Amino acid sequence: MVNDRYSRQVLFRPIGKQGQEKIQQKHVLILGCGALGTANAEALVRAGVGKLTIIDRDYVESSNLQRQQLFSEYDANERMPKAIAAQNRLREINSDVEVEAHVFDASANALSPLLHNVDLVIDATDNFDIRFVMNDLFQKHHIPWIYGSCVGSTGMSYTILPEQTPCLYCLLNAVPVSGATCDSVGIISPAVQMVVAHQTVEAMKLLVEDDAALRSKLVTFDLWNNYYQTIHVERAKKENCPSCGMEPSFPYLDYENQTKTEVLCGRETVQIRAGGVFDLDGLAKRFVNIGDMKSNPFLLSLEYQNYRLVFFRDGRTLIHGTNSIEKAKKIYYQLIG
């Protein structure tokens, strides 16, 4: 039911009362709860989306606070999982919206059970390994999704509609993408907000089912150098694309093509994914004489030599203080075996 809370949004003719009612019936999934994820989540919750599912594998650190809204110094001090901290804040913003949070590393197997009745997915991830998995998974399930990325003062966004537009695999074979990361060149918050503006407005068009208003071009910009461009990419769509072509094979849904060990964007950190789950209480007993520990119901943080290791219940470990996968594995095996 539409109330005064959304009155200014309802006055906007392309949305109106009917559009607002549609928004309140829709389910959006946001993959990643960093800069792009938190800003998109807040905008959609304030707009009155019916249900929001947020997924993130990481926890809040002080360096996040410069650009990742929804988080506070308390969240950073307590090393709260980003998805949980965001969920807590979003529920305070709009208690009428159902907000579901998951703390795990996204994979095809982990995501698939959550896609039931999802109307739209917003990309707020920080690496192309999971984006290619997303691309195949959402093509297979016919779910539209909105790609977004930013680094430095630059960013880009594109709306991907299964069976209609080029998919991400098609796109990256046609449009060059910078290899820069937040860790190497930094990032400013206005670049984040610009990408979010493009993602959120496209999301609202899809939620009110105004497909005619959707942007068909890829947007790219550099705020610092006053550059803005929209690029026609329709011809990038390929009939033999393994993800969206006439006979798709969805190669990135194969376990062999998914990363198990990776260097994370934004800081000197390596993630290692193990089979099974961690007994955090058991690890705490094992590490009692190893180094300083801090824990909450979701993770255990251990200071070891010049590194910090964070163990999550879902079997993941973040090794902070190195970009070397080999070194990270050595430290990991020293402690875990």
- How many residues are there in the chain? 337
Contact 180, 151 (CB under 8 A): yes
Contact 310, 320 (CB under 8 A): yes
Nearest CA to 167 among 195, 135, 141? 135
Looking at residues 139-165, what average pLDDT do you find?
96
Q: What is the pLDDT of residue 44?
A: 98
pLDDT digits (tens, 9 = 90+) for 218-261: 999 999 999 999 999 999 999 999 999 999 999 989 866 666 77
Looking at residues 197-221, what average pLDDT do you find?
97
Q: Where are the domains of the chain?
A: 4-255, 260-336
Q: What is the pLDDT of residue 266?
A: 61
Using CA atoms, how far apart are residues 29 and 103, in angstroms rounded to an integer? 14
Side-chain half-sphere CA neighbours of 214 within 13 A: 21
Hey, is 310 helix, strand or coil?
A: strand
pLDDT digits (tens, 9 = 90+) for 258-287: 667 777 766 789 999 876 788 999 999 989
Reported as a pLDDT band with limits 50, 70 and 90, residue 1 is: very low
Q: Does domain 4-255 have CATH number 3.40.50.360?
A: no
Residue 175 has pLDDT above 90, yes or no: no
For all residues of the chain together, what is the average pLDDT?
A: 91
Q: If you count DSSP H runs as helices and E runs as strands, how many of each does the chain have, helices first?
A: 12, 14
> Dihedral of the CA atoms 253, 204, 59, 97 (nearest 10)?
-110
Residue 184 has pLDDT above 70, yes or no: no
Residue 326, classified by CB atoms within 10 Å of its CB into exposed (0-12), middle (13-18) or buried (19+), is: exposed
Contact 78, 68 (CB under 8 A): no
Q: What is the pLDDT of residue 105?
A: 84
Using CA atoms, how far apart are residues 157 and 191, in angstroms rounded to an integer? 12
Q: Which of 184-188, 191-195, 295-299 has the lowest mean pLDDT?
A: 184-188
The DSSP line for 166-201 is --HHHHHTTS------HHHH-B-HHHHHHHHHHHHH
Hey, is 97 helix, strand or coil?
A: coil
Using CA atoms, how far apart are residues 205 and 15, in angstroms rounded to an integer? 8
Whole-prediction pTM: 0.85
Contact 39, 86 (CB under 8 A): no
Identify residue 107 by its one-letter amino acid code.
S
Give the range with max mean pLDDT: 36-40, 171-175, 233-237: 36-40
Looking at residues 151-166, what average pLDDT do you find?
95
Q: What is the pLDDT of residue 177?
A: 61
Q: What is the pLDDT of residue 258?
A: 64
Q: What is the pLDDT of residue 127?
A: 77
Looking at residues 157-178, what average pLDDT do you find?
85
Give the pair of three-digit tokens for residue 273.
Answer: 């994914």
Residue showing tokens 């790219």: 220
pLDDT digits (tens, 9 = 90+) for 46-60: 999 999 999 998 999
Q: What is the pLDDT of residue 2?
A: 47
Who has greater pLDDT, 2 or 261?
261
Q: Does domain 260-336 have CATH number 1.10.940.10?
A: no
The residues with which 219 forms a beta bridge, in sequence order, are 157, 230
Who has greater pLDDT, 100 or 251?
100
